[in-house]
Every structure is written in C-alpha cells, then in structure tokens.
Amino acid sequence: MTEKELIKKIVEYFEEKIFQQHINSSLTNHSKLKSYNINPIVVKYLSKVLDDKYSPEGVAKALYYPRVLGTSINTSFGTRIQDMFVELGIAQGSLIKGMDIEFIDQIDKRKKWYQLKAGPNTINSEDVKPLIKKFTDTINLARTNKAMSGVNNTDFIVGVLYGEPSELSMHYKVIDKTHPVLVGSDFWHRITGFPNFYNELVSALHECISNLDTKDFFQKGCDELANEIRISPLFHF
C-alpha cells in the first residue's frame, strides 16, 4: 500500500469512526439527562458561571459542554485509534497482557510490542513505576518462551500518537531511560515505514475536519438537554 493510500484509509476511518460518531453521540446520548450523574451543588454554581443564573440552559451547558468537548471525544480517540491499527491491518492486537498492539518495526525489522498513549502529557507520576514493572515482568516471562528468547528492553515500547520529543512530560522521560518512548513522527515512521507520514497525516486530517458538516449540532444537542432539564422533577427553577 502506498503512503497516500494508507493516509486516505486512516482519514476515512477518523471521519466515520471518530468524528461522525462523536457528532452522533452528542445528539443521541449526551443530549439525554439520564446519561449524567449530577452533583446538585456544583451544577447550580456552574449554571451561574455559564448563564449568570440558575436556569435549564445554564445547567445544560454545565453538563453538556465538558462531556462533548472533553470526555467523549478524548475517550473515543484513545479507544478507536487502537482498534484502527488492527482493523486496517497496520498492526496486530497484542496477546501479551498490558500491551496494545504488536508489529514488525519498519526501520529495524524487529518485532515490537507497544502500549499506546494519546499525547505527551497523558500519564501521572504514579503510573511510571507500575508501567516499568509491568514491562519488566512481561519481558522476563517472554524470555522463558524460546520463540521470544531474543527480546530485550527496546522491544517493549510506549508509543505516543502525537506530539514532539521536546513536549514529553518528565514521567515519560523516566520511562524512556528503561524502555523507548516513541512520539509523533518517530512512532508513525516505525509503524508505517514512511518517514514523513505523521506530518502528511496531520495535514490530511486538517483538510478532512475543514470539510465536516458540524453546523448547529452542538447547539441542538444542548438545547434538547435543556428542554429535558426544564421539565425534570430533579430541578426547581
């Protein structure tokens, strides 16, 4: 498959499985009051912040905005990307516990096992030691299997989907001392074999996003939620 063909497939996947799915979920799920666990004190305060009063519209914004603009799309991005690599035949789902995908590195031609992370600041300090231990335990176990006797620390990797090496948090840099942390263009080069794949993909995705029909969907979903809130016995305006 050529570089352009692969970029086209990935962009189509993003459009259908991430962007359009996010729009659909915003209208069918996140616009429904039953999908929220509500803190009655905080939501009243946030309504005042967003609408300058305690109102159905303000409560709807307090619930809908962070869900649709934050949690929903970020969760979908992380889950779908892992599925995408497997569904498009770019990598295999890993059978090793704690690893997400595995593939033949297109630069050094060794088989590699990856745990995927979305961006360069997506782990906390308490994640570092457990992750290194998990990798170490997995490697020690793998070495008891003759078929994997040649594996070493550099074969078990953290792959960060976007960003630059200079943007990696200190927590990733600690991991990188023991196991490689490959970010952005380096990761995409190794999984596709194309040196400039990451930049070309980002450019193609930007073009795709520019052509998406997003008119009114956000306001429509929020308005539907406000209408439910207005007649709900949970609230007294």
The tens digit of pLDDT for each residue in 17-74 reads 999 999 999 999 999 999 999 998 999 999 999 999 999 999 999 999 999 998 888 8
Domain membership of residue 100 (yes or no) is: no
Number of domains forming the structure of the chain = 2
Domain membership of residue 214 (yes or no) is: yes
Q: What is the pLDDT of residue 185?
A: 97
Provide the whole-model pTM.
Answer: 0.89
Decide if pLDDT at 143 tops 80: no
Asked if 86 contacts 101 with a C-beta cutoff of 8 angstroms, the reply is yes
> 87 and 30, same structural domain?
yes
Looking at residues 139-156, what average pLDDT do you find?
A: 81
What whole-number distance in Å separates Cα of residue 149 and Cα of residue 28?
50
> 188 and 112, same structural domain?
yes
> 209 and 139, same structural domain?
no
Domain membership of residue 99 (yes or no) is: no
For 219-232, the pLDDT digits (tens) are 999 999 999 999 99
For the sheet with 92-93, list strands across it: 92-93, 101-104, 111-117, 156-160, 181-183
Q: What is the pLDDT of residue 198?
A: 97
Q: What is the pLDDT of residue 78?
A: 81
Indicate the residue type of 16. Answer: E
Decide if pLDDT at 142 tops 80: no
> 142 and 115, same structural domain?
yes
Burial label for 183, CB within 10 Å (0-12, 13-18, 19+), is buried
Q: What is the pLDDT of residue 96?
A: 86
CATH of residue 117: 3.40.1560.10
Q: What is the pLDDT of residue 98?
A: 84
Relative to beta strand 181-183, strand 156-160 is parallel
For 171-183, the pLDDT digits (tens) are 999 999 999 999 9
Q: Which domain holds residue 111?
A: 107-192
Q: What is the dihedral of CA 74, 212, 187, 82, to 10 degrees?
A: 50
Relative to beta strand 111-117, strand 156-160 is parallel
Q: What percent of the chain has pLDDT over 70?
A: 99
Ranges 102-106, 133-137, 184-188: which has the least confidence: 133-137
Looking at residues 76-98, what average pLDDT do you find?
A: 91
Three-state secondary structure string covering 139-175: HHHHCCCHHHCCCCHHHEEEEECCCCHHHCCHHHHHH
Decide if pLDDT at 147 tops 70: no
Domain membership of residue 84 (yes or no) is: yes
Relative to beta strand 101-104, strand 92-93 is antiparallel
